[in-house]
């Protein structure tokens, strides 16, 4: 199979030993001969050739039906270079790996392909005597064949399901060694019950034929579209492969031939690791004699210890190397080892010479660590390898959030929009929370804070601008000084049409109890007497104002409220004529309340349009838990020094405004003269309360209710007109 590689081609053809054929980016029909090309040393992966371990015995090559390079019979002696040379010169290799035995043409399908792809080209069916003859299986068609085996699609009649049946060809079925290896593969795979490992259903012998049935996989091998998939999709598949390998390791089993061709991706997202023909137990490796060697696997992915045939050196770290090799292919589009011929490819694998790549990021570094020459420098377990991939995935999400925030910041700068600035800052903060080491998010947050502060400064929102500028940042120090200077100037220039005095704090439960000692209206929601008094009517607020007038010896002709003929503060009482010119305590008008709440700002909150800083100034559903009032004065005040104007308790007003200002100026007040009120009379409550969500907690929020109504989050503060 020739695979296109989307990158600049080397000056000379390079071949990747993948499966049963050589693959060249140029499509060259066969490996060239002659002098090997010079390849730059890769220090991370190269060990000196002369330091390779000498071997006294090396198995001769043999190839099973999958067409991979696998050796079992010990009849070759000498060091590993001589062994590789003898394997490269063995004519059986070329015939088995690149040609069909009957036609001499290049093979288009192997049993490995057939098991993984229902779309593989069908080959001519063998003599029916080769097919399994168990009555429970009805053969449908041949899916594919290799050097020693055939894979059929069959129907298992007892369970009415479609399965795959793998059997040994008649020409090799009487060979004990082949049968033993075949049954070993079936038995070992059957012991690994895992969602990501192909399931073996049955093993049987029918005369000279040995067979086993397995799950029919509807899909394609990962290798067929690995280079076409997005990186995130390939990493998801690799995660499932890791789950299968980790499970096998927990059962003491190694795969030894992990590669994309041996991973099946189903039509519905299933991921299955197939072909456990080279599987071996860790115990077997540990029991091997020091001079026992077996070189097997796929050269393009081999670890150094596998290429050198050291059976005692094989372990969990070997599969981890193969997982790293697969990850390397995800990163670069090609497996790690290549060469002009088999000998060169195996030499490169033995000394861990990896194909160079220009990619140098966190993911390729994970692959490089997994493929370290020294097994002790690799990941200790598959789970450690997976953990590194998950950290990378989190970092990728962090990068994506930072990039999205950067685009939002660009839009915010163009539009001068507070909401966009707030979203950009939040995006950078989220990116940093996923990955504190994300320099892009850290730099973006600094840039966003500075740009947001500059925008707020230009609009006169000095408190917001100051809150966004850290004092220890040299970039923001100059702007911070300008903000502080301009804020002081603005405070000096603020004037009102009449001199108004307004309480900095909402009336507390403690103060209200001095007026009404038996008041216990809101103790269940007020954790202390310093919380606002709530659950009081507009009438009670008016009566409190007159009590406060009496405490401060303010003459009655300056009082703003008059009781009804029965001396009660309820239906029938009056708002005194000219109350806005009187100096007694009263509830503020709507215009006065909004002017004081805005404190010179034009935004719908005195610090900004955005809710980003609301937690600093107000108690509302997000920070109160929608359960309790908070003590007054615990948040930050506005520019006029007023606390809790946006939260904690909504506040009664005395007279509705005729119109509302679009700029920070007093709206026109409506002074109705001598006005009698009834239970049907309505007044506005302004601001927000501890049960209000963020969008309702703003200077422009208002609710209209009858004077006799009361609620958990309705309170008040007092105001008075001063003598000129």
Q: Mean pLDDT across the chain, nearest whole number?
A: 76
Q: Would the pLDDT of 714 be above 80?
A: yes
Q: Which position has the token pair 């779309």?
A: 119
pLDDT of 565-622, one tens digit each? 999 999 999 999 888 889 999 999 888 888 888 888 877 788 877 788 888 899 898 8
Residue 545: what pLDDT? 95
pLDDT of 261-310, one tens digit each? 999 999 888 999 988 888 899 988 888 877 777 778 889 999 999 988 88
Whole-number Å distance between alpha carbons of 4 and 1: 10
628 compared with 113, residue with greater pLDDT: 628
Residue 483: what pLDDT? 75
Is residue 130 in some structural domain?
Answer: yes
Residue 590: what pLDDT? 86
Domain boundary among 387, 418, 437: 387
Asked if 589 and 678 sit in the same domain, the reply is yes
Q: Which among 610, 599, 619, 613 is positioned nearest to 496, based on CA atoms? A: 599
Tokens of 193: 């019950």
Residue 103: what pLDDT? 35
| Beta-strand relationship, 263-266 and 200-206 | unpaired
Domain boundary among 493, 517, 548: 493
* Number of structural domains found in the chain: 4
pLDDT of 371-419, one tens digit each? 999 999 999 999 999 999 998 988 888 888 998 999 999 999 998 888 8
* Percentage of residues of the chain with pLDDT beyond 90: 31
Tokens of 90: 């063995």
CATH of the domain at 369: 1.10.510.10
Is residue 393 in some structural domain?
Answer: no
Asked if 525 and 591 sit in the same domain, the reply is yes
Residue 626: what pLDDT? 63
Mean pLDDT over residues 674-686, rounded? 83
Asked if 379 and 414 sit in the same domain, the reply is no
Asked if 324 contacts 334 with a C-beta cutoff of 8 angstroms, the reply is no
Q: Give the pTM.
A: 0.50
Q: What is the DSSP string of 159-206?
A: TTEEEEEEEE-TTTTT-HHHHHHHHHHHHHHHT---TTBPPEEEEEEE
Whole-number Å distance between alpha carbons of 667 and 659: 6
Asked if 530 and 594 sit in the same domain, the reply is yes
Tokens of 722: 């001063």
Q: Would the pLDDT of 338 be above 70?
A: yes
Q: Would the pLDDT of 658 be above 70?
A: no
Name the residue range of residue 477's domain: 398-493
Asked if 463 contacts 635 with a C-beta cutoff of 8 angstroms, the reply is no
Residue 147: what pLDDT? 63
pLDDT of 103-139, one tens digit each? 333 332 222 222 222 332 222 333 444 444 445 888 8
Asked if 565 contacts 589 with a C-beta cutoff of 8 angstroms, the reply is no
CATH of the domain at 135: 3.30.200.20
Asked if 252 and 181 sit in the same domain, the reply is no
Asked if 148 and 127 sit in the same domain, the reply is yes
Residue 304: what pLDDT? 93
Mean pLDDT over residues 24-35, rounded? 37
CA 93 to chain centre: 47
């Amino acid at each position: 199979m020739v695979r296109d590689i989307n990158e600049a081609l080397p000056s000379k053809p390079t071949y990747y030993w993948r499966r049963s054929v050589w693959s060249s980016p140029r499509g060259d029909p066969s490996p060239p001969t002659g002098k090997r090309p010079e390849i730059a040393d890769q220090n991370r992966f190269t060990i000196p050739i002369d330091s390779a371990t000498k071997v006294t015995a090396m198995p001769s090559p043999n190839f099973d039906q999958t067409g991979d390079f696998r050796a079992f019979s010990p009849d070759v002696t000498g060091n590993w270079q001589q062994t590789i040379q003898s394997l490269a010169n063995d004519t059986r290799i070329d015939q088995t790996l690149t040609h069909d035995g009957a036609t001499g043409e290049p093979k288009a399908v192997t049993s490995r392909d057939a098991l993984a792809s229902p779309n593989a080209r069908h080959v001519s069916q063998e003599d029916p005597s080769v097919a399994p003859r168990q009555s429970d299986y009805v053969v449908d068609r041949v899916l594919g064949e290799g050097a020693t085996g055939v894979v059929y699609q069959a129907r298992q009649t007892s369970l009415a399901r479609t399965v795959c049946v793998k059997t040994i060809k008649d020409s090799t079925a009487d060979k004990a060694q082949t049968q033993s290896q075949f049954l070993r593969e079936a038995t070992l795979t059957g012991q690994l019950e895992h969602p990501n490992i192909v399931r073996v259903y049955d093993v049987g012998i029918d005369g000279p034929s040995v067979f086993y049935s397995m799950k029919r996989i509807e899909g394609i091998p990962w290798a067929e579209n690995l280079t076409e998939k997005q990186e995130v999709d390939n990493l998801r598949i690799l995660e499932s492969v890791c789950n299968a390998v980790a499970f096998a390791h927990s059962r003491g089993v190694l795969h030894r031939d992990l590669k994309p061709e041996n991973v099946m991706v189903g039509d519905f997202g299933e991921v299955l690791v197939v072909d456990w023909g080279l599987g071996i137990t860790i115990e077997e490796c540990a029991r091997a004699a020091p001079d026992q060697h077996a070189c097997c696997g796929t050269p393009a992915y081999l670890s150094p210890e596998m290429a050198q045939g050291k059976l005692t050196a094989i372990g969990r770290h070997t599969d981890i190397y193969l997982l790293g090799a697969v990850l390397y292919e995800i990163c670069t589009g090609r497996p790690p080892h290549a060469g002009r011929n088999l000998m060169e490819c195996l030499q490169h694998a033995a000394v861990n010479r990896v194909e160079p790549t220009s990619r140098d990021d966190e993911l390729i570094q994970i692959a490089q660590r997994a493929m370290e020459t020294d097994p002790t420098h690799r990941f200790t377990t598959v789970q450690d390898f997976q953990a590194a991939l998950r950290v990378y995935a989190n970092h990728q999400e962090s990068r994506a959030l930072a990039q999205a925030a950067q685009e939002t910041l660009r839009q915010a700068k163009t539009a001068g929009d507070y909401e966009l600035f707030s979203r950009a800052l939040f995006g950078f903060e989220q990116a940093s929370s996923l990955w504190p080491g994300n320099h892009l998010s850290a730099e973006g947050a600094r840039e966003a804070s500075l740009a947001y502060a500059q925008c707020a400064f230009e609009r006169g929102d000095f408190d917001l601008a100051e809150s966004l500028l850290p004092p220890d940042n040299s970039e923001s120090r100059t702007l911070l000084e300008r903000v502080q200077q301009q804020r002081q100037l603005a405070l000096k220039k603020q004037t009102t049409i009449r001199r108004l005095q307004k309480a900095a704090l909402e009336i507390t439960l403690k103060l209200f109890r001095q007026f009404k000692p038996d008041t216990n209206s809101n103790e269940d929601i007020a954790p202390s007497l310093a919380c606002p008094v709530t659950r009081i009517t507009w009438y009670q607020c008016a009566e409190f104002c007159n009590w406060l007038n009496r405490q401060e010896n303010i003459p009655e002709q300056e009082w703003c409220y008059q009781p009804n003929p029965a001396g009660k503060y309820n239906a029938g009482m009056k708002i005194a004529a000219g109350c806005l010119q009187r100096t007694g305590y009263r509830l503020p008008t709507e215009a006065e309340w909004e002017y004081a709440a805005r404190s010179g700002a034009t935004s719908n909150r005195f610090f900004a349009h955005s809710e980003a800083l609301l937690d600093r100034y107000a108690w509302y559903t997000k920070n109160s838990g929608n359960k309790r009032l908070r003590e007054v004065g615990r948040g930050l005040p506005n520019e006029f020094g007023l606390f809790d104007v946006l939260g904690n308790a909504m506040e009664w007003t005395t007279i509705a405004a005729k119109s509302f200002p679009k700029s920070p100026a007093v709206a026109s007040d409506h002074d109705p003269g001598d006005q009698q009120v009834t239970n049907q009379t309505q007044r506005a409550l302004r601001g927000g309360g501890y049960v209000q969500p963020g969008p309702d907690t703003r200077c422009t929020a208002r609710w209209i209710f009858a004077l006799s109504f009361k609620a958990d989050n309705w309170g008040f503060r007092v105001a008075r007109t001063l003598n000129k």
